Amino acid sequence: MTEKVVFRRWKEVPDIVHTGEEIGRIAERYWEYASSGKNEDKAYARKEWQQLSDKYWDLLWALLDAQTESFPERLSFDDEERLFIDFGFLNDAVTPRNGKFDTAQALSLKTVAGIFQYQAFSDFIAECWAMITGQPVPSPVCSVEGNRANELEKRLQDLQDRRNAELEKIISRCANVAAGDAEKLFAVLDECLISATKVEMRTKEFREAAEDVKQAMSQERFRYNEAEHSMTTQLSIAQKVEEDPLGLPEFEVFMAQHEATKTMARKIVYSRQDEEKARVRAKRTGDACAQFSQQMMRRELKNMLLKKKEYMAVPAKVARCEQSLLCPQDSEPMSYQAASRLMEELCDMDMDMFGVPRIRMYGVPRVIFIPGQGFGTYDWGDHTILLPVFPTTSAEKALAYSLGTFRWDSDEDRVLKNTYEHIKDNRGKSILEMASSFYKDYFLWLTKEKRGYRILPRETHKTFIQMFAPRRSES
């Protein structure tokens, strides 16, 4: 008899017990057909597996009904429940793991601090309930401890310290620079960076500031630009010294260090903006549900998840793989930590994606790790990026596709679309075919071309250079 599927702390709840028994019966039939070795049983096995997959939502609804019946201030899930909600894992009899799926490690690893707020699907559910009931939104279980922007500020300081140490070595070759002058240069580059970034990004804080504050911020941006010009002058001088000239490889490494400080500053500004936008989003939802009865609030949670359910089927459709949220038997799950680190690396190569009007209105999209397989996608309705925890082909491709769908869908003024559709190979394609082609090309552009490998056809390569040319700073 297949092991029953009943969550330990809800083993007396009839709906959970009943659904668990159904899952057990379907699983027995599935494994009987799957292990028979007969060709004629393969179709029956696929049919039973699809029925089994459909039970994911039945079991989730039963679990949430049990959780919310007492109308708790917040929803919390134990490890057994999180493995089911976040990975589609029930037990080794129903959804056996391969040797690469370490359930303890899957639940323990945290994401790295970055431009995105990362959530597991169980975190998203808990957030929805908190917003509906007007309670403080809990921190995602899968996220790094502490304030995200604070963590980024620590990393910025480290980047600046290393950049300054390297710059000090370089300009020491120039006899005309005193140590005190170098320290003044470092101070301006460090102290004025955030204000200069806010002005360049034309943030709400800058646009709506009092005139004297706006002038002060503009002055800091001017000082930063002057210091940066002075820095490049010293680099040019260092390249011409006779005894120990600054070589091109060393110059490029240093400039990469310097650009990293500017990228990190933009991430900090976006993160601080997101804090306010998250409060507004939570308050808006709470106000809309304030007059609801407890039963209506419970129903609203299901409504929010039903909307998300529609988009959770997209990753598998795009990748043309099995549309099941249950844990596959032969795939390795994506580590939250590794995925978030890679996501940050990929977006570093295309930070201009965050300059679209949709970001200014709603902030940087949250990233939600969802159960199932496929490529990542962008949920327009909820302004979230969905990443399947069991990526098809590779984690890098799944992540790049998620950024590609965001790039395409957020191109509301058609800057990219109007250029991309004129590529000869794209003429006559439908909108869906064009989008699918862009995701693939963007994946190659981001993961290959930006790293120096020529992969794309010549016309497509030239078009991508045109579409993603560095933007001129706003004055």
What values do phi and psi take at 305, rounded to 5? -75, -30
Band the pLDDT of 178: cuts 50, 70, 90: low
Cβ-based neighbours of 343, under 8 Å, separated by 6 or more: 114, 116, 367, 399, 403
Q: Which amino acid is at 405?
A: T
Per-residue pLDDT at 240: 85
Mean pLDDT of 165-175: 83
pLDDT of the residue at 179: 62
The DSSP result for 182-229, as a single string, is HHHHHHHHHHSHHHHHHHHHT-HHHHTS-HHHHHHHHHHHHHHHHHHH
Confidence of residue 218 (pLDDT cuts 50, 70, 90): very high
pLDDT surpassing 90 at residue 464: yes
| Contact present, 288 and 214 (Cβ < 8 Å) | no
pLDDT at residue number 257: 95
d(C-alpha 70, C-alpha 259), whole Å = 52
pLDDT value of position 475: 34
* pLDDT at residue 474 tops 60: no
171 neighbors 251 (Cβ within 8 angstroms): no
Give percent above pLDDT 90 in the chain: 76
The predicted pLDDT at position 177 comes to 63
CB atoms within 10 A of CB 401: 27
What pLDDT, in 10s, does the model give residues 234-287? 899 888 887 788 889 999 999 999 999 999 999 999 999 999 999 999 999 999
Would you say 386 and 402 are in contact if contact means Cβ atoms under 8 Å apart? yes
The pLDDT, as a whole number, for residue 332 is 87
Is 90 exceeded by the pLDDT of residue 376? yes
pTM of model > 0.85: yes
324 CB contacts (<8 Å, ≥6 apart)? 49, 50, 53, 56, 88, 316, 372, 373
In angstroms, how far is the first alpha carbon of the chain from the final one?
71
Mean pLDDT of 354-363: 91
Q: How far apart are CA 264 and CA 266, in angstroms?
A: 5
Residue count of the chain = 475
More confidently predicted of 243 and 314: 314
* Residue 413 or residue 469, greater confidence: 413
- pLDDT, residue 175, reads 65
Question: Residue 410: which pLDDT band, with cuts at 50, 70 and 90?
Answer: very high
The predicted structure's pLDDT at residue 273: 93
CA 27, 29, 30, 31 dihedral sign is positive
> Tens digits of per-residue pLDDT, 116-140?
999 999 999 999 999 999 999 999 9
- pLDDT (0 to 100) of residue 58: 96
Q: Using an 8 Å Cβ cutoff, are 6 and 91 in contact?
A: no
Mean pLDDT of the chain: 91
Question: Looking at residue 330, what is its pLDDT?
Answer: 82
Quote the pLDDT of residue 195: 96
With both helix axes pointing from N to C terminus, report the angle between 14-34 and 40-68 in degrees, rounded to the nearest 10: 160
Residues 390-394, mean pLDDT to the nearest whole number: 92
**Cβ burial, residue 231 (10 Å; 0-12/13-18/19+):** buried
DSSP symbols for 128-184: HHHHHHTPPPPPPTTSPSS-HHHHHHHHHHHHHHHHHHHHHHHHTT-TT--HHHHHH
Is the pLDDT reported for residue 434 higher than 70? Answer: yes
- Contact yes or no for 311/381 (Cβ under 8 A): yes
Q: If residue 61 lies in a helix (H) or strand (E), which one and from where to where?
A: helix 40-68
